[in-house]
Amino acid sequence: MTKKMAIIATKGTLDMAYPPFILGSTAAALGYDVQIFFTFYGLQLLKKDLSDVKISPLANPAMPMPVPMPVLVQVLPGMESMATMMMKDKLKKKGVASLEELRNLCQEADVKFVACQMTVDLFEFDKKDFIDGIEFGGAATFMEFAGDTDICLFV
Amino acid sequence: MNFQKELDARGLNCPLPILKTKKSLADMASGEVLKVVSTDCGSVKDMQAFAKQTGNELLEQSEANGEYTFFMKKK
């Protein structure tokens, strides 16, 4: 019997975008049947354009910084973009896949992406902005799959 | 050791060595051997875990000068 894993992805920041895609693609490589349910800010991870997915030093006090940065500096305009640029640069240098790459690997491996319809309505998202090959559903859709999984995670 | 295919996973970090190993094995025949070279020290445990969970056999693994070499026999 094929093992199953379900993940709920609720965050739309660069750091929190990695776990669902890393675990999803890896589980698929190990033969798991995987479904990821994207809700609230997690829906940003299904957009064709991932440039809105950023990291904020302000919201992540534990983030290692090259130089100590007081909170009052972190709130300055442009700091978030700068932190995002630095993080992406570091990820690349260390041979970590980009989000786009991991997302593609998930889709190639038949990881099923389900977008929360309620969130689409709530934030008035345009479905044209999302990648192809995803489904739209609600809590009951998730439960149908999650109810019979071996691993179920909330990210 | 004899092998039919080689995967260069140098410079790649988790989970790419595993994902690329999986992809490389996909178009090989049962019983064929894949050689994988990686620089990610985490891949040592991960390749063992991959073999254990997928049924592919990790025939040999070694380390030299910061490079890890694996021989994986396809199930």
Report chain A residues whose CB lies below 8 A from the CB of B41. none
Q: How high is the mean pLDDT of chain A?
A: 94
- Closest C-alpha to A155, from A11, A28, A47, A27: A11
Would you state the pLDDT for residue A55? Answer: 92
Buried b (16+ CB within 10 A) or exposed e, A100-111: eebbebbbebeb
- Closest C-alpha to A27, from B27, B64, B37, B19: B19
Work out the average pLDDT over A36-61. Answer: 93
Specify if A136 maps to a domain.
yes
Q: How many domains does chain A have?
A: 1
Specify if A35 maps to a domain.
yes
- Minimal Cβ distance to B11: which of A29, A95, A109: A95
Range of the domain at A121: 4-53+99-154
Specify if A81 maps to a domain.
no
pLDDT band at A58 (very low <50, low <70, confident <90, very high): confident
Q: Which residue of B has its CA nearest to A96?
A: B13
Query: What are the average pLDDT values for consecutive 10-residue runs of chain B, which has 75 residues?
Result: 96 95 96 97 95 96 96 97
Q: How many residues does chain A have?
A: 155
Range of the domain at B12: 5-73
Specify if A15 maps to a domain.
yes
Q: Does residue A48 contact residue A129 with C-beta atoms inside 8 Å?
A: yes
- The interface pTM score, or ipTM, of the predicted complex is 0.86
Q: Which residue of B has its CA nearest to A21?
A: B15
Q: Which residue of A has its CA nearest to B52?
A: A30
Would you state the pLDDT for residue A25? Answer: 97
Would you state the pLDDT for residue A1? Answer: 84
pLDDT band at A61 (very low <50, low <70, confident <90, very high): confident
Distance CA B74, CA B5 (A): 11
Cβ–Cβ contact A90 with B under 8 A: no
Cβ–Cβ contact A151 with B under 8 A: no
Contact A30 B54 (CB under 8 A): yes
Specify if A94 maps to a domain.
no
Residues A64-122 pLDDT 10s: 888 888 888 888 888 889 999 999 999 999 999 999 999 999 999 999 999 999 999 99
Q: What is the CATH number of the domain that holds B26?
A: 3.30.110.40
Q: What is the CATH number of the domain that holds A18?
A: 3.40.1260.10
Region of A32 please: left (phi>0), alpha (psi -120 to 50) or beta.
beta
Residue B55 to chain A, least CA–CA distance (Å): 10
Would you state the pLDDT for residue A60? Answer: 85
Would you state the pLDDT for residue A24? Answer: 97
User: Which string of DSSP letters, residue by residue, matches A68-82?
Assistant: ---HHHHTSTTHHHH
Specify if A73 maps to a domain.
no
